[in-house]
């Protein structure tokens, strides 16, 4: 069956054969037939706006009624099929097909984000419906320059994808590049923007996310105003933006909602947290295995007493404890919220204390592992936190075989890899590599608003000036 054929009732019935939620009603008084999917329509709207009016008119008045502005004629079979799948009722009269939107599927209401906590600022988060998500952005950016391009991905699911940008701010070459990448996807289904971002990544085998993902409309607004591009997928409560860089993943909306000195101190704290979670446990393994001489005598004696009963070499000891912490973390994330919190706290205390008393580990390692785990929670981005955790295990292994040299080797490869990545063909480690010192005032610090005069260099925007306030 050719989907470009003229629509007919028989062809539509054939397309939806063996769909038990496919309904059709025939009106004997005028010959009108309506068809729809009962699972995604609003029954009350269908009854009041379609069934009752059609039931009360004869065949001579149907044509006039069909001229209502919200009722449109479908010219090809594919259009009618897509409209029915989108929650429209199809109306057949005198071998012509019309459609009217009666969508009414149950949707989740707007709530707080469970993964991105905002202390000071807006708390509403995206939901699984793309139209609602677009409305959250439209209400925040009241400009006709906010452009929305609708695409479709998934050979089977036909999921709607919306590409958003602000005309006059975004680089149109980047917009076209992103549109092309999405349009060229050939896959049965794309059901989440995190999946979409992996498909269109330039380095899909890297640990590090190359598209910024968020559930917060305020964050997407800031990205769009900065000259970047956003993508929303119907069915996903997460939006992505590009181009992005490594340092965006250590920023939080709270940085901009508080005094600039407080925002700056929080960013420094996150940078320190990355260093702690990467190196604390690895440094313990390196010192115990190769570098006793770097410790003061008092600390060395304490460490020796602590490890006197431990039967494992430092590398195995550290890997066992890190693995235990990861198991507790994953269990806490998968269990219901209240139970998960209990498992994380009680499990950590009980297992840690029991392991020390049984002589399976030293109490100093418990401190190092706990500090690394806590520091990893400081990062606002869950995806970046996961990547950093994997790098931590690599550094622990290297430190167990090569000591401090292994740690430095691992950190060197980490920096080399990150600086080699790109996001929409722009450097991932910008503005450090390549260096743009002017952007550092909104990377390592959160400068006063009066000093944030230009948009990020990475956006390659045609309108770089965003702040014309005088000092």
Is residue 471 pLDDT above 70, yes or no? no
Tell me what the mean pLDDT of segment 94-121 comes to: 82
Q: How many CB atoms lie within 10 A of CB 216?
A: 24
Whole-number pLDDT of residue 421:
94
Nearest to 287 by CA among 210, 157, 399: 399
Instruction: Using alpha carbons, list the distances in angstroms from residue 337 to 11, 323, 344, 351, 382.
Output: 49, 22, 11, 21, 17
Strands 72-74, 159-166: pairing is unpaired
Q: Is pLDDT at 346 greater than 70 in this prediction?
A: no
pLDDT digits (tens, 9 = 90+) for 141-179: 888 889 999 999 988 888 899 999 999 899 999 999 999
**Higher-scoring residue by pLDDT: 340, 462:** 462
Contact between 236 and 331 (Cβ < 8 Å): no
Across residues 298-319, what is the average pLDDT? Answer: 82
| Mean per-residue pLDDT over the chain, rounded | 87
pLDDT band at 270 (very low <50, low <70, confident <90, very high): very high
Residue 148's contacts (CB-CB under 8 Å, 6 or more residues apart) are 134, 162, 163, 164
Please tell me the predicted confidence (pLDDT) of residue 247. Answer: 93
Confidence band, pLDDT 50/70/90 cuts, at residue 231: very high
* % of residues, the chain, pLDDT over 90: 37
pLDDT of residue 21: 85
The average pLDDT across 3-25 equals 85
Asked if residue 461 lies in contact with residue 170, where contact means CB atoms within 8 angstroms, the answer is: yes
302, containing H or E segment: helix 297-306
**Rounded mean pLDDT of 24-52?**
89
pLDDT band at 1 (very low <50, low <70, confident <90, very high): low
pLDDT tens-place string over residues 68-88: 768 888 888 888 988 898 889
When comparing pLDDT for 348 and 55, which is higher? 55
pLDDT band at 344 (very low <50, low <70, confident <90, very high): low
Which pLDDT does position 342 carry in this prediction? 61
CA-to-CA distance for 232 and 47, rounded, in angstroms? 32
Confidence class of residue 345 from pLDDT cuts 50, 70 and 90? low
């Amino acid at each position: 069956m050719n989907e470009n054929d003229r629509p007919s009732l028989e062809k539509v019935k054939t397309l939806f054969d063996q769909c038990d939620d496919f309904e059709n009603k025939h009106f004997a008084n005028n010959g009108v037939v309506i068809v729809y999917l009962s699972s995604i329509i609003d029954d009350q709207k269908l009854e009041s706006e379609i069934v009752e009016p059609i039931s009360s008119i004869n065949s001579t008045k149907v044509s006039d009624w069909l001229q209502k502005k919200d009722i449109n004629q479908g010219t090809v079979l594919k259009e009618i099929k897509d409209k029915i799948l989108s929650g429209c009722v199809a109306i057949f009269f005198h071998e012509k097909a019309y459609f009217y939107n009666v969508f009414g599927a149950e949707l989740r209401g707007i709530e707080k984000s469970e993964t991105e906590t905002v202390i000071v600022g807006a708390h509403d988060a995206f939901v699984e419906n793309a139209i609602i998500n677009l409305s959250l952005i439209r209400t925040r950016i009241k400009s006709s320059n906010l452009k929305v391009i609708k695409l479709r991905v998934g050979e089977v699911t036909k999921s709607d994808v919306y590409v958003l940008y602000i005309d006059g701010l975004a680089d149109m070459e980047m917009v076209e590049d992103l549109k092309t990448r999405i349009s060229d996807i050939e896959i049965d289904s794309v059901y989440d923007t995190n999946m979409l971002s992996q498909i269109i990544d330039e380095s899909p085998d890297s640990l590090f996310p190359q598209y910024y993902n968020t559930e917060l409309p305020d964050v997407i607004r800031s990205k769009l105003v900065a000259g970047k591009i956003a993508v929303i997928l119907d069915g996903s409560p997460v939006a992505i933006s590009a181009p992005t860089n490594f340092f965006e993943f250590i920023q939080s909306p709270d940085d901009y909602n508080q005094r600039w000195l407080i925002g700056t101190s929080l960013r420094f704290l996150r940078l320190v947290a990355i260093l702690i979670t990467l190196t604390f446990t690895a440094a313990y393994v390196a010192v115990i295995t190769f570098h006793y001489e770097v410790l003061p005598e008092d600390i060395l004696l304490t460490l020796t007493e602590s490890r006197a009963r431990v039967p494992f070499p430092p590398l195995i000891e550290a890997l066992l404890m890190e693995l235990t912490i990861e198991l507790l973390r994953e269990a806490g994330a998968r269990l219901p919220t209240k139970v998960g919190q209990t498992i994380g706290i009680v499990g950590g205390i009980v297992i840690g204390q029991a392991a020390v008393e049984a002589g399976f580990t030293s109490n100093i390692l418990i401190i190092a592992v706990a500090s690394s785990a806590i520091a990893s929670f400081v990062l606002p981005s869950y995806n970046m936190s996961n990547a950093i955790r994997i790098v931590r295990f690599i550094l622990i292994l290297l430190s167990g075989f090569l000591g401090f040299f292994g740690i430095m080797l691992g950190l060197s490869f980490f920096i080399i890899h990150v600086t080699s990545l790109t996001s929409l063909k722009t450097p991932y480690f910008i503005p450090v590599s390549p260096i743009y010192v002017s952007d550092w005032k909104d990377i390592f610090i959160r400068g006063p608003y009066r000093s944030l005069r230009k948009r990020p260099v990475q956006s390659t925007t045609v309108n770089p000036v965003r702040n014309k306030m005088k000092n």
